[in-house]
Amino acid sequence: MLVTLAIVSMGCESNPIEYRTRPSWVRLMGGETPSSTMTPDGTEIIWIDRESPELQGFEQTVGLEQVRIRTDHEDGSIVLQNVLPMHLVVNLLECLRRSEYRVIWEQIISDDQRRWYEDRGEGGYGDFLQYFQRNRKNIASMLNRMHAGKVYGDVVTDVGEFGGTVSLRRHVAYEFPLSLLQIVREGGEWKLENIR
C-alpha cells in the first residue's frame, strides 16, 4: 500500500507553465524552433507566434500606410516592395538567405545594373549569379550588420530624390570587405545599383 501511495503522489506533481511570445529575431535566424521548452527548474515555456511565421518582419507601417515589403504567394511567386532604403536591405538579405537569386535579378537590382550584366555578353544572368554566389557571405554579413546596426546609429542612409547610398559607419565598416550599397529610385521603389 505504501508503494501505491508513493507512485500516486509522484504522478500528481505539477510543473508551472508559462506562455511567452516568440521574439521575431528567432525566426530570422532560421532553422526549426520548438513549440515549447523546459527551463532547468522544470517550468515549461510554450511559445506563441503572434503572426504567421512567413509574415513576421515583412509588414511595416510607413506614415499611415501598412506596407507588406515581401509577399510569398501560394503559387511560389514572390512580390517585393522597397518603399524605403532599409526595405531593400531587408529584402536583399532575405533573398540571399533563401538563395532566391532570380528574385534579386528581377526585383532588386536596377534596370541599369541588369543592362550592364546583359551588355557584357552571353553571360548576363550567369555573370550576375556567379558574383552573388561567390560574394554571398560578405554581402549577407554586411546586410545583417546594417539591419542590426540601424537601431544603434551604425548605418548612414544618404539619399536624394533619385538615388543615394546606405552604408556602415566608418568605425564599423573596417570589419567588413563590403560596406556600402549604392541605390537608385525606379518606379517609386529603391533598387540596387552597386555594392562596394
Give every CB contact of residue 144 below 8 A, 6+ residues apart in sequence: 93
pLDDT higher at 7 or 93: 93
CATH of residue 151's domain is 3.10.450
Residue 68 lies in a domain: yes
Q: Is the pLDDT confidence value at 12 over 60?
A: no
| Residue at a domain's end among 48, 68, 85 | 48
Burial class (CB in 10 A: 0-12, 13-18, 19+), 20: exposed
Output DSSP code: residue 22.
P
DSSP per-residue letters across 123-165: -THHHHHHHHHHTHHHHHHHHHHHHHHTTTT-EEEEE-SSEEE
Residue 147 lies in a domain: yes
Residue 107 lies in a domain: yes
Residue 31 lies in a domain: yes
Strands 36-38 and 17-21: unpaired
Question: What pLDDT, on the 0 to 100 scale, is given for residue 56?
Answer: 47
Length of the chain: 196
pLDDT digits (tens, 9 = 90+) for 37-70: 888 888 888 777 654 444 445 777 777 778 899 9
pLDDT digits (tens, 9 = 90+) for 98-112: 999 999 999 999 999
Neighbours of 47 (CB within 10 A): 16
Instruction: Give the range of the structural domain holding residue 110, as residue numbers without chain letter.
Output: 59-195
In DSSP terms, 192 is beta-bridged to 109, 183
Residue 79 lies in a domain: yes
Residues 186 and 113: beta-carbon distance below 8 Å = no
129 and 69: one domain?
Answer: yes
Residue 68 grid coordinates: 507588406
16 and 63: one domain?
Answer: no
Residue 53 lies in a domain: no
Long-range CB contact pairs, 148-154, < 8 A, 24+? 150/86
Number of structural domains found in the chain: 2
pLDDT digits (tens, 9 = 90+) for 122-171: 778 999 999 999 999 999 999 999 999 888 889 999 999 999 999 999 99
Question: What pLDDT, on the 0 to 100 scale, is given for residue 55?
Answer: 47
162 and 114: one domain?
Answer: yes
Residue 109 lies in a domain: yes
126 and 75: one domain?
Answer: yes
Residue 134 lies in a domain: yes
